[in-house]
Each structure stands twice: as structure tokens, then as C-alpha cells.
Amino acid sequence: MRTLALASEFPPYRGGIATYAVSLAEAAAQLGADLCVAAPDYGRTDLDDRHYPFEVVRFRGKQHSTRDIPSKWQVARRLIARGGWDLVHAMDWPFCIPVALAAPRRLPRMLTIHGTDVLEMADWHRRTALRASGAFSGNIDVVGNSAFTADLFRRHFPAAADKVRHELLGIGEFWLQPTVRSRQARATLGLPPDAFVVTTVGRLAPRKGHLGVLKALDLLPPALRGRVFHAIVGPSVDDDHARKIEAMIATSGCAVKRFGAVGQDDLRAFYANSDVFCLVGEPAQDRSVEGFGLVYLEAAGQGCPSIAGDIGGVAEVVRHEESGLVVPICEPTAIATALERLMLDERLLERLRAGAMERAAGLTMTRCAAATYGLSRQRREQSEAPAEREPAVMLRQSHGVS
């Protein structure tokens, strides 16, 4: 199957959709799929995509805005005109309308929806444009990243309810690789060797729920507060919110440290050397939602169970009492109770560690790619055998599209 996949976000940009796009393409290529991925160049001329096991076509563009729709249509039209495609995949909603306008009606199309984008698409102006373009008519397969996201789509687009299904996302092998967990590894990361380390990873934005975690830590009994070290990992994207976090850190009864953004290797080491991953979320004023929650799986791959807020599709990722504890959002008392349970019950913590690793091993991107594209996972070994792979498929030059 020859697939053209178009993404509005892709490395070197870091974000959930970029991670999805590159991970899905890599996993599909490992399963023997023949893909070409179109992605923005972010204004750079030094990008070298030859290491990917699929073709990468860069087009002029940065982060998406509505005014980019016409240029994305031109990109889609030029690439589809190459011919020979069995499927055209809009990996995020900004390519939905361009692909619908550019693709012949007989050509199968796919659209991946990630959560918040469903609400963006439901805006009156975008809904009108989607209807006018015939975005959900014809031979289209809409794939949600969770049952929550698929149900959200059905509620907002009931006329296309029969077009949507869901396939849970997954993590790549990188997050499943064994990582050193030791006193020395903690010291290298800046973590106390003997503390109960609670790590929160995510942009410092209100909807991630950092303030709820800090409030919960102060509700712990004094003896437990003295054992906790809270690591906050992630970039600041909201100055006002960052100041609120700093103010709470200054008065916290626990040891708390902000680490900012870190590289993937260090992030994996943080997960491996933490006792629990805590990301609880809260409703966002901008109506954004958590359609899945890949970070919970990344942590789980390193044997780090989660305390997760029951918001969006998170409870589909973290199995309550199996790979973590799911708590009501905006309830610091519930978060504190979950933390206290894990600190006082080593057997429970060990059981959840094992459950987290099992959950991560079962939700891989290989599984996701196979289910999304209808590929056989049994073909993986064959597709990776050097004698059976053409170098042109394994390593392709990227081509610029302006």
C-alpha cells in the first residue's frame, strides 16, 4: 500500500502530533508499508531527513494557522498529482479540507483526530468549510486516538458518525528500553537519592494541573511531606501561570524543583528514577481537551506508575488500580490520598510498577500502525531483513516542495 501522509507538525518541532506523525510513520515502515510524509520545513534549509525509513517531503511552513489552508491545499494537490497512491492520510485536522479538495473522490482518504481538534473543527466557520469541501463525504476513514475522541466527534458531527473509529496510540521502542535506576543516576539528574520522587512532565499551562499537585503535596501528613521530592519537568508557555507555580513552590512544605525542558534521553531517565508520575489536569479555558495522554505511557514504559486525573481519554491509557491510580480532577484531597497510599504501601507500588510496564508493552506504536493501516504485525521481521528491503525504501532523499 502506497500512502501519502500529510502532517502539520513533524520533527524538529516537538509536540504530541509531531511525535504521533513520526512514530506512526516509522512503525508503519517497519511493518513494510511504503510511505511518503509531507511536513513543514519551519523556515530551515539544514534539515536532513535521509535517516527516516520513508520518504519525507518538506514544504514551506511553520506552525499551522487558518491562513495556511490555501498553501496546504497546493501542497496536497501537487503531491496527489504524482499518482500511484492507495491512501491519502491527513495526520491532523488542518490537512482535512486541503486533502478533501485535492483528492479524487475515488481515492481512499484517512483523517486522524486527536481531541482538541474536534472542538476546533466544530467552530461554525470551520464546520461550514468542512461541509462545503465534502470533507466527510466519500471514501474517508476517520480515526480517533481514543474512544473519548471518537465519541466527541460523533457528538459534534452526527452525520458522519458512521465514518469514525478509534485506535489507541502507542509508544515507540525507545520508551521501553531498560534505563539505569540508581542513586548515581538520580544524582546525575539532580534528584535526591533517598526521596520519594514525584515527577510531573508537561508544559507549564493551566490545563496540565500543576497547581493541583502542589496543593495536594501540602495536604500530606508532615512525616510524608518530608520524604517527597517533586520534580516539575517541562517548558514554561504561560508567564502568569509560571509565576503562580513559583509562588506555590516558595511556600510549599515539600522539596520542589523546576527542571525546565529536557531532552528525550534525560526524560526517559527521569521516568526510570521516579517513584510515581503525577499529571492530573484540569478543565481548560480554551476548551482544549486531553484526547489521549502519551506521557503516561512513556512513564509506564520505564516502570513508573501514574496518578492521573480522570479527564478526556486519560482513563483509557492509565488503568485504575492496574497501571496507576485515576483520581477526580480539581480535587487535591483525592490526589493527596493517592500519593499517601503509594508512599505507605510498597506492595501496591510494586504491583502498579509491573502493571505500568505491562500496559506500555501492550500499547506500542507498532500495534497502532498495524491497526490504523490494516497492516500485519507478522510482516515486521520480514520487512526488517536487509536482503528483502530495497535501499530506496530504507533510505530516501527528501524533496522540497515550495
The per-residue pLDDT for 400 is 44
Ramachandran quadrant class, 199 (left: phi over 0; alpha: psi -120 to 50; beta: rest): beta
Structural domains of the chain, ranges and CATH numbers in brackets: 2-170+365-401 (3.40.50.2000), 174-361 (3.40.50.2000)
CA distances from 38 to 54, 115, 324, 365 (A): 11, 22, 37, 20
CB 114 within 8 A of CB 292: yes
**What are the φ/ψ torsions at residue 141 (nearest 5 degrees)?**
-120, 115
Residues listed for the chain: 402
Task: Say yes or no to pLDDT of 396 above 90.
Answer: no
The per-residue pLDDT for 135 is 95
CB 158 within 8 A of CB 122: no
**159-194 residue pLDDT tens:** 999 999 999 999 999 999 999 999 999 999 999 999
**Whole-number percent of the chain with pLDDT over 70:** 93
CB 375 within 8 A of CB 31: yes
- Distance CA(200)–CA(236), nearest Å, equals 13
Give the strands of the sheet with 228-233, arranged side by side. 255-260, 228-233, 196-201, 276-279, 306-309, 324-327
CB 132 within 8 A of CB 97: no
Position with higher pLDDT, 399 vs 222: 222
Residue 4, Cα to own-chain centre: how many angstroms? Answer: 21
Task: Say yes or no to pLDDT of 272 above 90.
Answer: yes
- Name the band, by pLDDT with cuts 50, 70 and 90, for residue 237: confident
CB 220 within 8 A of CB 228: yes
- Name the band, by pLDDT with cuts 50, 70 and 90, for residue 117: very high
- Name the band, by pLDDT with cuts 50, 70 and 90, for residue 377: low
Q: Pick from 202, 206, 209: which is nearest to 261 by CA?
A: 202
- Name the band, by pLDDT with cuts 50, 70 and 90, for residue 395: very low
Q: Which of 100-114, 171-185, 272-286 has the lowest mean pLDDT?
A: 272-286
Task: Say yes or no to pLDDT of 388 above 60.
Answer: no
Task: Say yes or no to pLDDT of 68 above 90.
Answer: no
Output the nine-digit C-alpha cell for 252. 510549599
Is residue 115 exposed (0-12), middle (13-18) or buried (19+ Cβ within 10 Å)?
Answer: buried
Please tell me whether residue 89 adopts helix, strand or coil conformation: strand
Q: How many other CB atoms are found less than 10 A from the CB of residue 43? A: 8
- Distance CA(356)–CA(362), nearest Å, equals 10
- Name the band, by pLDDT with cuts 50, 70 and 90, for residue 330: confident
Output the nine-digit C-alpha cell for 387. 536482503
Task: Say yes or no to pLDDT of 212 above 70.
Answer: yes
- Distance CA(364)–CA(384), nearest Å, equals 17
The per-residue pLDDT for 286 is 65
- Name the band, by pLDDT with cuts 50, 70 and 90, for residue 358: very high
- Name the band, by pLDDT with cuts 50, 70 and 90, for residue 399: very low
